[in-house]
Amino acid sequence: MVILAMVGIMLSQAGRVMAVSVDCTPSVGTGPGVNTALGCVPVVMGDFMTWLLPYVFGIAGGISFLLMVYGFIMMSTSGGDPKAVQGAQETVTSAITGLLVSIFAIFILRLITVNILHIPGIN
């Protein structure tokens, strides 16, 4: 949710971003970029999405991995308590489900944008 809010704020301020002097060339795409604490961020929408998506899915995978580790630790320290084991199993199951949804979202996004709609700028 925080990432979506940040993207919304960035998109709402697009006019201001374009007014900033362009002083870098992003590693993705051919459009201009703005130098930030995160590096050179592209200001063209297609290039920005190409730059942003690996970070979003990387963060989702990292959170899923941490939740799986947490669930396994809960399971190993449950001491045989059925409620604690069930809670740990639900945590692990939810983490794996979230990871699978994230992976399939990548494929569905690529299928729709690249193969069906042929949107330029998204690889």
Q: Is residue 41 part of a domain?
A: no
Helix (H) or strand (E) holding 33: strand 33-36
pTM value is 0.67
Report pLDDT for 19: 47
pLDDT average, residue stretch 65-79: 94
CB contact at 8 A, 119 and 109: no
Q: Is residue 122 part of a domain?
A: no
Q: Is residue 55 part of a domain?
A: yes
Domain of 100?
A: 50-116
Q: Is residue 74 part of a domain?
A: yes
37 band by pLDDT with thresholds 50, 70 and 90: confident
> How many domains in the chain?
1
The owner of tokens 């201001």 is 16
Report pLDDT for 25: 76
Q: Is residue 43 part of a domain?
A: no
